Amino acid sequence: MKKLLALLFVLMVTKVSIAQNPVNWTTDQLLAPASLAQSIKNSKDVPVILSIGPGAVIKNSIDIGSIKEQENLDSFKKQLTALPKDTSIVVYCGCCPFEHCPNVRPAIAAMKELKFTNYKLLNLEHNVKTDWLDKGYPSRQ
């Protein structure tokens, strides 16, 4: 019985860790918030910015909603299909650090599935408040 309980525990822990891992993006695909902020401020080479979390707070971003919800994931894919595959795209959530975020992995997977080639994940290490708003970067007013 103890062996069975131990096995069940290991399976549960493995399932939880798989739910949020592995990371499905590369470090080259992470974009520093300061870089995006500078592009927005200069109005130069501004990518399509898609908010895939609970709210679009970054200036010029399109609010998709939390794509952990199927309806919003479908909306995200629909938004993408209207764009050329080489469009410069930045996605962000900002609800929490990546290891806990339920939205970033489905977004990256969808862009890969749809064969997009020029996308970045905004590197919000803590959350959008700490890593964007508190720094005074361009926001929607």
CB 105 within 8 A of CB 20: yes
Q: In what order do the strands lie in the sheet with 119-122?
A: 30-31, 119-122, 89-92, 48-51, 61-63
pLDDT of residue 17: 38
- Interacting residues of 56 by C-beta distance below 8 A, sequence separation 6+: 62, 63, 64, 140
Give pTM, 2 decimals. 0.83
pLDDT of residue 97: 92
* Tokens 């401020």, located at residue: 41
CB 123 within 8 A of CB 31: yes
Per-residue pLDDT tens over the stretch 101-111: 999 999 999 99
Residue of higher predicted confidence among 11 and 138: 138
Q: At 112, is the pLDDT very low, low, confident or very high (cuts 50, 70, 90)? A: very high
Could you tell me the domains of the chain? 24-135 (3.40.250.10)
Mean pLDDT for the stretch of residues 108-137: 96
Mean pLDDT for the stretch of residues 87-107: 95
The mean pLDDT value of the chain amounts to 88
Per-residue pLDDT tens over the stretch 33-45: 999 999 999 998 9
Mean pLDDT for the stretch of residues 57-76: 96
Per-residue pLDDT tens over the stretch 2-28: 554 444 444 444 444 344 556 899 999
117, 94, 123: which is closest to 34 by C-alpha? 123
CB 134 within 8 A of CB 123: no
Number of Cβ within 10 Å of residue 105's Cβ equals 20
pLDDT of residue 23: 86
